[in-house]
Amino acid sequence: GGQTMALANGEKVSISHNSATGEIRLTRGGETVSMGREMALRRRQTDGGFRIAQARRPQNVYPGDLHLVSKLESGTYRLYVVANVYIESYLYGVVPYEMGASSALEALKAQAVAARTYTLRAMNANASKVYDVVDTTADQVYNGSPAERDRAAEAVDATRGIVAMNDGKLTGTYYTASNGGQIESVRNIWGSNQYDYITVKDDPYDYQNPASVVRSFQVNKSGTQSNSTLGSLLNAKA
């Protein structure tokens, strides 16, 4: 802790972590320095960032600082590697991968507002944690910023700072690639009734989604079905 150093452009360093003690060490030029249990690799210029060789899009820049935090969990230290990115820069790497930059601009604007709102809600909910969101569909897919300026980036800029509100609170803007033609109730999913605006209703637009899987099932007039699992469910619920 307390170490501050400047790394030259192109300089290579090695970082190691001890899961027993939580110590993070940085080695440069044959010299190893203890960084305590938390360190950051900060940019020198605001348009810079870092790349991740093992990332899904290794060519994309993550436009922010890299924070390494060691936390004691169940008797051993776990190393968290966190990208600290401004929210609008973050959305540049979310919208094109959640919706696709070839989508209509107005649809991308709606997606940008939904993603921004989702992120702010997560930041509030996870304020005590090391990170706010993960970079997968467990939250939102984030792949760093594409090099080219596309329609998705235009949508982010056009809606900068805009979020969805409901009754004075950030809206629960949950979204999915496909819902099977019907929106599900939050109460049915999580047993919560705090989102009374998310109810079961038909979504005819999902049938136009080429990625949707369409299945049909025949129920005989007598009530017998070839699928015992579905039959039991229908008999129990319907």
CA separation for the pair 211, 220 (Å, rounded): 29
CA separation for the pair 32, 118 (Å, rounded): 41
Burial of 39 (0-12, 13-18, 19+ CB in 10 A): buried
CA separation for the pair 156, 150 (Å, rounded): 10
Residue 31 pLDDT: 94
Amino acid at position 36, single letter: G
Q: The whole model's pTM is what?
A: 0.85
Residue 152 pLDDT: 96
Residue 50 pLDDT: 92
Residue 49 falls in which region: left (phi positive, over 0), alpha (psi -120 to 50) or beta? left
Burial of 46 (0-12, 13-18, 19+ CB in 10 A): exposed
CA separation for the pair 204, 183 (Å, rounded): 10
Residue 123 pLDDT: 97
3-state DSSP assignment of residue 90? helix
Which residues of the chain fall short of a pLDDT of 50?
none
CA separation for the pair 48, 42 (Å, rounded): 10
